[in-house]
């Protein structure tokens, strides 16, 4: 392949890269997408949040996704002991989408990429970024290796790194840093789900808390398959011996609710394990580049925030790059890092307080407080930038405060 020159190089053709590419194309900015994998390819992150529907709609990608008829996700269910906590996205504090989807990511990402290609964006699959160099102006020369091992160069005025777990620029520029979250791991697979109940029960996404710090996800898809996986401390996952299949089958015994339904289901692939999945970086941008999605921060999957942060940051980066290329001043620290980290900090608090047990106290306390539930529901829907929501604005202390009130109520009742 010959050397290429574009305004923006996008690394990665997942949801973040596709949203960024679609926005840039819609606004007359030349871009190229380089993707290491060949699509369709398996990837985790199959539960979306309503907030990301705004991003697909704004960038002209929504209709192609609608046509795929993915399983509707109108809320989420949390189980613990004998208590059920249901969140309904139509009953949330912040206005916005009342539903989203549960998606097999191989099909979902492939649909996005094909739609972006239809718009005229050049995406090369099976090509790997091996090196990048920036000049004093922030312009870059990126070395790419094609599927035959032949190298070529891409010159760009800006790079958007949407490489996800590949974390291309964090690796090449030494931007990784330890996450502040507890080191958890996940083990997961898909099943045919032949025992799936009819009606709503068979479509609900559910998080079954089998131990305060261990939970099972069950994500039904419209194609009849279901994603299942356990999340817990890394030493808990590693305590199970044998093959990954043996580990996951043994763990399923922890779920009183789902064991009978899933115990005899064939795993459609050998279960994968992702160890210590939470990631962080020293900075979200630099002269000539921005990190989006999992290339930047990846939190715990308990609230399904991954794709939403990917599309939020991909779209935000594309908008700011467009302004910058048009000669406008962009304050990347305030307009990019400041904005993204406000949302990340909210979800980080919720993840942290989930594992301290404080958030679980609120979820499973009875009777429920409908106002508090609507405010938390807006967070779980991905609307974590709404400062009118007390559980966004005061996230760092309000969860703890409400949990303490519940403790005091319980003490008085004893």
Residues 333-350 pLDDT 10s: 999 999 999 999 999 999
CA 35 vs CA 32, 166, 259, 301: distances in Å: 10, 10, 39, 24
What pLDDT score was predicted for residue 298? 72
Find how far residue 177's CA is from the centre of its chain: 19
Q: What are 5-31's pLDDT values in tens digits?
A: 999 999 999 999 999 999 999 999 999
d(C-alpha 126, C-alpha 224), whole Å: 30
Can you count the helices (H) and strands (E) in the chain?
A: 15, 19
Find out whether 360 and 354 touch, Cβ atoms under 8 Å: yes
Task: Tell me the residue ranges of DSSP E strands in 81-139.
Answer: 83-88, 100-102, 122-125, 128-134
Q: What is the pLDDT of residue 295?
A: 63
Query: What would the pLDDT profile of 90-110 be if each residue is shown by its tens digit?
Result: 999 999 999 999 999 999 999
Q: Looking at the predicted structure, is the pLDDT value of residue 67 above 90?
A: yes
CA distance linking residue 380 with residue 48, whole number of Å: 10
Helix (H) or strand (E) holding 43: none
Cα–Cα distances in angstroms (integers) from residue 123 to residues 18, 81, 205, 233, 325, in the given order: 10, 48, 33, 38, 21
Give dist(CA 266, CA 16) in Å, integer.
32
Query: Does residue 248 surpass a pLDDT of 90?
Result: yes
pLDDT digits (tens, 9 = 90+) for 162-177: 998 889 999 999 998 8
Q: Whole-model pTM?
A: 0.96
Amino acid 297: pLDDT = 66
Cβ-based burial of 310 (10 A; exposed 0-12, middle 13-18, buried ≥19): buried
Residue in the structure block whose two tokens are 């050397």? 3
Over range 217-237, report the average pLDDT: 96
More confident position, 143 or 183:
143
Q: pLDDT at residue 296 above 70?
A: no
Predicted confidence band of residue 286 (pLDDT cuts 50, 70, 90): very high
Helix (H, G, I), strand (E, B) or coil at 40: coil
Tell me the average pLDDT across 318-339.
98
Residue 59 has pLDDT above 80, yes or no: yes
Of residues 21, 43, 97, the one with CA closest to residue 66 = 97
| pLDDT score of 366 | 95
What average pLDDT does range 219-240 have in this prediction? Answer: 96
Predicted confidence (pLDDT) per residue in 205-225, tens digit: 999 999 999 999 999 999 999
Give the pLDDT score at 276: 79
């Amino acid at each position: 392949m010959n050397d290429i020159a574009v305004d923006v190089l996008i690394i990665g053709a997942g949801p973040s890269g596709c949203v960024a590419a679609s926005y840039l194309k819609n606004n007359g900015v030349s871009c190229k997408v380089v993707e290491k994998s060949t699509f369709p390819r398996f990837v985790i992150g199959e539960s979306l949040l309503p907030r990301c529907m705004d991003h697909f709609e704004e960038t002209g990608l929504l209709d192609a996704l609608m046509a795929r008829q993915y399983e509707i996700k109108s809320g989420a269910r949390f189980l613990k002991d004998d208590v059920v906590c249901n969140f309904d996205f139509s009953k949330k504090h912040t206005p916005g989408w009342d539903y989203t989807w549960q998606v097999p990511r191989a099909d979902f990402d492939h649909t996005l990429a094909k739609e972006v290609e239809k718009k005229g964006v050049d995406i090369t699959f099976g090509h790997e970024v091996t090196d990048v160099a920036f000049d004093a102006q922030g312009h870059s020369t990126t070395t790419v290796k094609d599927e035959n091992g032949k190298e070529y160069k891409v010159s760009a005025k800006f790079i958007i790194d949407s490489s996800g777990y590949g974390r291309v620029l964090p690796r090449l520029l030494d931007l990784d840093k330890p996450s502040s979250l507890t080191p958890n791991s996940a083990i997961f697979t898909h099943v045919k789900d032949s025992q799936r109940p009819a009606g709503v029960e068979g479509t609900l996404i559910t998080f079954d808390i089998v131990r305060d710090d261990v939970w099972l996800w069950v994500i039904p898809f419209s194609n009849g398959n279901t994603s299942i996986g356990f999340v817990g401390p890394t030493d808990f996952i590693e305590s199970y011996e044998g093959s990954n299949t043996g580990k996951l089958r043994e763990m399923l015994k922890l779920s009183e609710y789902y064991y009978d339904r899933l115990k005899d289901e064939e795993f459609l692939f050998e279960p994968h394990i992702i160890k210590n999945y939470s990631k962080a970086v020293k900075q979200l941008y630099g002269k000539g580049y921005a990190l989006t999605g999992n290339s930047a921060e990846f939190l715990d999957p308990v609230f399904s925030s991954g794709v939403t942060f990917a599309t939020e940051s991909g779209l935000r980066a594309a908008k700011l790059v467009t302004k910058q290329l048009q000669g406008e001043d962009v304050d990347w620290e305030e307009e990019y890092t400041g904005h993204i980290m406000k949302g990340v900090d909210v979800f980080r608090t919720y993840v942290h307080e989930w594992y301290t047990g404080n958030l679980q106290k609120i979820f499973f306390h009875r009777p429920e407080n409908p106002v508090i539930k609507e405010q938390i529901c807006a967070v779980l829907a991905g609307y974590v930038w709404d400062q009118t929501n007390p559980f966004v604005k005061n996230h760092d202390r309000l969860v703890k405060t409400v949990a303490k009130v519940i403790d005091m109520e319980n003490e008085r009742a004893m």
